[in-house]
Amino acid sequence: MKPTKRQDGTRRKKHAGRKRGRPKALGISVHSLNEITRLLERYRLPAGILTYRAVAKELTRRSGVTITVGTVYRLAHGIEPKQPRVRAALELPAFESVKVCETCGVVHVKPCPATRKPGKPRAPRLDRRRLALELLGQLLG
Ligand SMILES: [Zn+2]
């Protein structure tokens, strides 16, 4: 821009009106579209969304919970958020705290095998014939 003379004789600044800082993103995707497409399908978002930022904006608008770009990016790459509010907004199952075994360091569904008491082994089950005879004996006195 060429400095132009004003009526009062001062010159206009060379950079007047020029925007400062980094120019805004164009909203053009630089990522492989597969991940974003998967998100669009998963959350039934309108087609034409091309960026993680746009996905985050749409999910935030829809759920009322602020979903950040980072959250969306991590979700697309298999890292789920931890905060219950965000999980609910993203239709993810809730987390529940579970006690980890002190001995093994893992979560058991069944009682811990390592801490089972080495007590008396259970008496072997009688076979059917002996069981029948046993019962008969008890019935007949
Ligand atoms: Zn254990």
The domain limits of the chain are 27-111
Residue-wise DSSP of 84-126: HHHHHHTTPPPP---PPPTTTSS--SSPPSTT----PPPPPPP
Selection from 61, 59, 62, 84 nearest residue 73 by Cα: 59
pLDDT at 1 over 60: no
pLDDT at 62 over 90: yes
Distance (angstroms) between ligand 1 centre and the Cα of 98 equals 13
Distance (angstroms) between ligand 1 centre and the Cα of 100 equals 8
Of the chain, the percentage scoring pLDDT greater than 70 comes to 83
Distance (angstroms) between ligand 1 centre and the Cα of 128 equals 36
Give the predicted TM-score (pTM) of the model: 0.51
Nearby residues for ligand 1 (ion, Cβ within 5 Å)? 101, 103-104, 112, 114
Distance (angstroms) between ligand 1 centre and the Cα of 84 equals 28
Whether residue 87 contacts residue 80, with contact meaning beta carbons closer than 8 Å, is answered with yes
Selection from 48, 56, 59, 51 nearest residue 28 by Cα: 51
Of the chain, the percentage scoring pLDDT greater than 90 comes to 32
Q: What is the pLDDT of residue 132?
A: 86
Contacts of 73 (CB under 8 A, 6+ apart): 52
Whether residue 54 contacts residue 28, with contact meaning beta carbons closer than 8 Å, is answered with no
**pLDDT tens digit string along 86-141?**
999 999 998 888 888 988 889 898 888 887 777 766 677 778 888 888 888 888 87
Average pLDDT score over residue span 46-69: 93
Selection from 12, 9, 23, 10 nearest residue 1 by Cα: 12
Q: What is the pLDDT of residue 24?
A: 75
